[in-house]
Amino acid sequence: MGAMTIRTSRRALVSSTRLRQIVLISVICLALYCFLLVPDHSLDSSRPAMADTFHHPHSAPNSNSNSNFNSKNKPLLSPALLNNRILTSAQCTTAFPDLTKEIDTAVSKGPFTLRRNPHGLGPTILRIRDRRLYILTYARKVDLSEDMLQHRSATLHQLANALLTAPPTEPLPNTILAFNHEDDPTSPSLSYSRPADPSFNGPNKRFFTIPHFSFFSWPISSVRSFPRAAKSTTVLESRFPSWTSKDPRAIWRGTTWFNSPRGGGRLRHDLVLTARGKPWADVEPLAANGSNALMIEDFCRYRYIVHTEGVTYSGRFQYHQLCASVVLAPPIAWMQHVTHLVRPVFSYQLEGVERTVLDSSRKLVPYPAPWVKDAWPKEYDPREANIVFVAPDWSDLETTVEWLERHPKIAEGIARRQRELFDGGGYFSPAAEMCYWRALLRGWSEVVRTEEQGFENLEEIPWEEFSLKEIHK
């Protein structure tokens, strides 16, 4: 009996030992699998400062969704990745497909010469050497408005950050840059936008579009900074159980005089006339005292957001693209650095949408204009689109809203795809911003020619010194 007990105990001991060995081997195999097969960008252990964190839509507290996948079952990018400013170029390409299309298009036009203006006018001239930023020529503070000074300073901070966070394994080229901080783009230069009309962007034009200055900061009370707005938008969007729970009206606020010459300079004025007193619209000119202004994220409370460009591009566009709302806009005439990711359905594609003008003094504007077909040659199915283009005189705005209200699933899909791409896809994240800037520096340096233009004779001001001069008398 005792011998049997001993043999039984030994068998139990051996079985227990084997079980522990199996468990240990399984754990080791799992660890090796994760280490070898998980993409290298998800292994980075860098941690951004909390105040500068880009908040992913599915990482918000009290979020209605606990899923780690989007509608196409593709893994969502993690907050750690979206805030990683030191991604390599390969990691950037993997994380943000088609991010650099604007750069690639500009580079494909081939070499160009950057010439020096002997009077010191025009864009700010910068030098990059050994990953440091220097200022060569610049407009004086007394010649610039406070807004212009803020825009210039914010963009130079962005550029300096891109240099500081460049991976040591991927040195950036030394080069000389021309940066235009005005709304109107100039060629050749780094500019906030470019004309969408190909006739204004021919083979001799060199517009290198750059991220908007607000990605660093925009010190107006309704915005303040892009990270703040993105976080607030995420929290706000999480409070809506569905798209249909949003305010069913189309929202707009703005100044009626800030118009592009294209279309007769009446775009915003005509919008107010079209929407005045309509139950489907919350459209108002901005009051002089700002009493009817909205925080930028509060536009996301509405199902529909009416977007208007200004004299050129509009800096609010990227904020509207954070929303799970349908953006209604005339065909975009000014391309910013990721506007090419817009997939429009045109209002004339929607069966039953008609153009009407109630004011007999107004005539219908040709739609689409020839340049629109050249700038936006592809028309997307409503079930693929992420924005709706309407007539530039707003003559079909009301019937377009009515069509979308009759087709709520299609409308909700357009709204959802917009937020999933621009916010969920991380194209407005700190990581994507740094990826874009470094790709821009490589692309520009590849085609710019500065030899024998007199830049070597200019005094260099280190960015650190210049940045202090910007904020102190």
Q: What is the DSSP letter of 52?
A: G
Kindly report, residue by residue over 59-85, the tens digit of the pLDDT.
443 333 333 334 444 457 899 999 999
Mean pLDDT of 21-25: 52
Q: Highest mean pLDDT: which of 133-142, 144-153, 363-372, 434-443?
A: 434-443
Residue-wise DSSP of 355-410 = ---S-TT--PPPSS-HHHHHH--PPPPTTT-SEEE--TT-TTHHHHHHHHHH-HHH
User: Which of 392, 225, 243 lies closest to 319, judged by CA?
Assistant: 225
Kindly report, residue by residue over 257-309, the tens digit of the pLDDT.
877 766 557 899 999 999 999 999 999 999 988 899 999 999 999 999 999 99
Lowest-confidence region among 14-28, 52-66, 89-103: 52-66
pTM: 0.84
- Cα 18 to Cα 14, 23, 29, 350, 412: the distances in Å are 6, 9, 16, 67, 56
- Predicted pLDDT at 120: 65
Residue 313 confidence (pLDDT) above 90: yes
Residue 31 confidence (pLDDT) above 60: no
Rounded to 5°, angle at Cα 93 from 336 and 190 = 30
Q: Who has greater pLDDT, 24 or 323?
A: 323
Question: Whole-angstrom Cα distance, residue 155 to residue 153?
Answer: 6
Kindly report, residue by residue over 177-220, the tens digit of the pLDDT.
999 999 999 999 999 999 999 999 999 999 999 999 999 999 88
Interhelix angle 397-406/408-419, nearest 10 degrees: 100
Average pLDDT for the chain:
86
Structure tokens belonging to residue 229: 């707005």
Residue 15 confidence (pLDDT) above 80: no
Neighbours of 439 (CB within 10 A): 21
Lowest-confidence region among 100-109, 121-130, 351-360, 454-463: 351-360
Longest Cα–Cα distance of the chain, Å, equals 111
- b (16+ CB within 10 A) / e for 61-75: eebeeeeeebeeeee
Task: Kindly tell me the sign of the dihedral angle through the C-alpha atoms of 336, 328, 416, 227.
Answer: positive
Residue 155 confidence (pLDDT) above 80: yes
Please give the helix or strand (H or E) that residue 418 lies within, else none. helix 408-419
Question: Whole-angstrom Cα distance, residue 370 to residue 269?
Answer: 23
Could you give all domains of the chain from N- to C-terminal order, each with its CATH number?
95-217+429-471 (no CATH), 226-424 (3.40.50)
Provide the β-strand partners of residue 112: 448
- Predicted pLDDT at 32: 41
User: Which of 171, 172, 170, 190 lies closest to 180, judged by CA?
Assistant: 190
Mean pLDDT of 355-370: 83
Mean pLDDT of 420-429: 96
- Predicted pLDDT at 263: 57
Confidence class of residue 45 from pLDDT cuts 50, 70 and 90?
very low
Mean pLDDT of 81-102: 97
β pairing state of 207-209 and 194-195: unpaired
- Rg (C-alpha) for the chain, rounded Å, is 27
Residue 21 confidence (pLDDT) above 60: no
Mean pLDDT of 450-470: 91
Structure tokens belonging to residue 185: 């783009």
- Predicted pLDDT at 260: 72
**Sequence-ordered list of residues with C-beta below 8 angstroms from that of 122, at least 6 positions apart, any chain:** 178, 180, 186
- Predicted pLDDT at 23: 47
Provide the β-strand partners of residue 134: 127, 462
Mean pLDDT of 9-30: 50
Q: Is 191 exposed, middle or buried (0-12, 13-18, 19+ CB in 10 A)?
A: buried
- Predicted pLDDT at 262: 63
Question: Whole-angstrom Cα distance, residue 473 to residue 463?
Answer: 17
